[in-house]
Structure 1
Amino acid sequence: MDKRLEQQIIFLENAGWASSKIELLAADASFRSYHRVKLNDRLAVLMDAPPPEEDIRPFVKIGKYLSQLGFSAPRIYAEDERRGFLLLEDLGDNTYTRVFATVGDEEMLYELAIDTLIQLHELSSTTTVPADTAPYDLSRLMTEVALIADWYLPTIGISLSGDARSSFDTVWQSAFTKVADKQETLVLRDYHVDNLMWLSHRTDTARCGLLDFQDALVGARAYDLMSLIEDARRDVPTARADKLIKRYLDACDDIDEQTLRQDIAILGAGRHAKVIGIFTRLAERDGKSQYLDHIQRVWGLLENSLQHPALADVQDWFDTHVPKDQRIIPSIKTE
């Protein structure tokens, strides 16, 4: 028997789920995998997060915090920190993505996602988040945006000179200084339709189930809003995005629209550059070439963000060093 499977079985036995059936639900862009566990009429989800590549402690910490605030993060039934296992509440199969595919009410679900963010930002602040939650600071933003230079550009045949790489850092640092010190709320970081669940039997914002929040940081409130409306895997029409921004602003009358849109542009540009690098790395290093299918969309999102005046120098850098005809899907052979 595979050693990891044997460890799963022992963990489930110790958790009171002996002789349960285990079915793979999904694997994601990390080393984690998720399995549905069935025992008679009981259901749960097994998160397999093998150390040292993965660490379940952030998921446990943030999940408990979100639950305490009344949000629908999966309840934790059992945990094994040393081996990297969690037994979680099964929130079902109705991700927003799947509901949309069955002609679900997209407008209502997007509005629910916005309302959930509004409530999170009302309840979460630097005084309430777990004390050891790291900030989404300049250093982290710069580390992320470097992924496009370190992974994507070499893959498409662009080798930056020392001066070009130095100017890359300079223009991004200048842009990020406008948002890096905004430690306003908990930022879930991957707040998009693949990680949101439709829980029709619950009420109010509890109907929006939350997944994949283990990388949460403390940062600008614009980030998760941007992540929702500028989705790497799904086209969101401009009219819908504007309507959702307006809904957010109407509920948060202490926010200046111009500042919010600037933050969305800057944070969006950084995220999209990061994602282009990550998707390239997933294909080249990990053999997960399916992520390359999204790169053209993400380039479009990045180009749109770069049109904001606050990013003029970043746009000039890309126009000089990565002309539009070179913004291509990398050709990577995977075995």
Structure 2
Amino acid sequence: MTQNPSPKAALRAQARAAFLHKYYNAVPEQVTALDGDASFRRYFRVIHKDSRLILLDVAPEMGDVQAFVELNALFNKGAVRVPQIMAADCALGFVLLEDLGTVHLADRLGAQQDVPGYYETLIEMLPDIARLPLSPHMKPYDAAFIDMELDIFSEWLLTRWLGYEISESWQRQWRALKETLILAMQGQTQVTMHRDFHSRNIMWHQQQWVVIDYQDAVRGPVCYDVVSLLKDCYHTLPQDQFEHLQRYSFEVLSKAGLLADRSYADYQQQLALTGLQRHLKAAGIFARLYLRDGKPGYLQNILPTLQYVYDAAKCVDTFQWLATCVQSEIIPLVKAKLEQRK
């Protein structure tokens, strides 16, 4: 039995149809909803005659597409390939984009022989992104924001999903860890970063890589996009490939003058600490997507993300408490929760 859409959803569908009719001067032949975005944004594939486009739909009460449009122009000026915008109505929250197809970096991994070559090409893009000028649409990635991101882990993963009891001792060590990570991230060269530069946000189209989901770009630590790419929550590189690409990223960023004469050992430490912050946040976001947004599909990514957290924490003396906690308490609790869902 098909449920009738809510009055709000029906009004949104009418607005969507009107926007498309205005662009095509006709009713499109086919409009298909696409799944998989970890946000309030909705995407539709629109087919009409020989035209295939993607419609981005963000209801104004949920968000603003102005940053998406403005940062699209910024990335284009910096010679970073992003989707071409065909039409937009920022007041209504609609953007019509070129259709890049369905092949992401994630789809070209696995059995492909040239995986290191893919990553080397993408690493070579990072200086171009890093040098993009500051935009008014980039939110400040300051200490308060980094702190807030980290608390997504303690609130949504530990407290809300796992029901983990946070002791005073744990809270005290957590505060010290956050201070250390904030200092480590703010002590790096601050550049423009994509912020989600991973295998699901990079597409292969017409024999080149195209970057999507750039609308949350900010100014932040130079290691962040390297971490997003090489310690991807959706794909774990073999250790030998990771070590090669970590060294390659150091060489590329050093040659571009973005590492302030840091040694490779310093760079590895920065990468590890930046990754620890990102993965703590990501694990919390995956739990939040399930609890708040009704998207259970990301729960499967929590365990590999926690493995990154454990691997980084165990290498820092003052973070041994977190490594022990993740390995002996948090991972077993997550496994039990996932088992209950089967």
Establish whether residue 326 from structure 1 lines up as the match of residue 330 from structure 2.
yes
Give TM-score scaled by structure 2 length: 0.86
The 3 A distance-change label for structure 1 pair 229 and 18 is: same
Q: Which residue number corresponds to residue 37 of structure 2?
A: 28
Q: Which residue number corresponds to residue 142 of structure 2?
A: 137
Establish whether residue 268 from structure 1 lines up as the match of residue 275 from structure 2.
yes
- Say which is worse superposed, 155-164 or 256-265, in terms of deviation: 155-164
Q: Secondary structure at the match of 1:193?
A: coil
How does 1:181-200 map onto structure 2 within 5 Å?
A: 181-182=187-188, 184-200=190-206
Q: Which residue number corresponds to residue 220 of structure 2?
A: 219
Question: Cα offset for 1:178?
Answer: 2.0
**RCO higher in 1 or 2 (8 Å CA, sep ≥ 6)?**
1
Q: Which residue number corresponds to residue 148 of structure 1?
A: 153
Q: Which residue number corresponds to residue 314 of structure 1?
A: 319
Q: Secondary structure at the match of 2:152?
A: helix
Q: Which residue number corresponds to residue 204 of structure 1?
A: none
Q: Which residue number corresponds to residue 246 of structure 1?
A: 247
1:51-78: CA deviation from partner (whole Å, max 9, x where unpaired): 3222212211211100111111112121
How does 1:155-194 map onto structure 2 within 5 Å?
A: 155-162=161-168, 164-182=170-188, 184-194=190-200
> What is the rounded CA distance, in whole Å, between the counterparts of 2:211 and 2:66 in structure 1?
17
- Aligned counterpart in structure 2 of residue 7 of structure 1, from 8, 15, 23: 15
> What is the rounded CA distance, in whole Å, between the counterparts of 1:318 and 1:100 in structure 2?
29
* Matching residue's letter, 1:298: T
Question: Cα offset for 1:102?
Answer: 7.3
> What is the rounded CA distance, in whole Å, between the counterparts of 2:309 and 2:318 in structure 1?
14
* Matching residue's letter, 2:170: A
> What is the rounded CA distance, in whole Å, between the counterparts of 2:26 and 2:237 in structure 1?
44
Q: Which residue number corresponds to residue 113 of structure 1?
A: 122
Identity rate of aligned residues, in percent?
26
Question: Cα offset for 1:107?
Answer: 2.4
> What is the rounded CA distance, in whole Å, between the counterparts of 1:223 and 1:263 in structure 2?
9
Q: Is the 8 A contact 1:188 1:224 kept in 2?
A: yes
> What is the rounded CA distance, in whole Å, between the counterparts of 2:224 and 2:297 in structure 1?
25
Q: CA RMSD in A?
A: 2.3
Aligned pairs, number: 322
> What is the rounded CA distance, in whole Å, between the counterparts of 1:52 and 1:326 in structure 2?
36
1:158-182: CA deviation from partner (whole Å, max 9, x where unpaired): 2223553243122211232122254
> What is the rounded CA distance, in whole Å, between the counterparts of 2:149 and 2:179 in structure 1?
12
The 3 A distance-change label for structure 1 pair 73 and 167 is: same
1:75-123: CA deviation from partner (whole Å, max 9, x where unpaired): 21211222211111222222112233674732222122111113323x3
Question: Cα offset for 1:317?
Answer: 4.4
- Aligned counterpart in structure 1 of residue 97 of structure 2, from 88, 94, 98: 88
* Matching residue's letter, 1:34: Y
What are structure 1's unaligned runs of at least 5 residues? 202-206
Give TM-score scaled by structure 1 length: 0.88
Q: Is the 8 A contact 1:9 1:18 kept in 2?
A: no
1:291-322: CA deviation from partner (whole Å, max 9, x where unpaired): 1111111111111111343xx32332453x55
Q: Which residue number corresponds to residue 52 of structure 1?
A: 61
> What is the rounded CA distance, in whole Å, between the counterparts of 1:307 and 1:62 in structure 2?
38
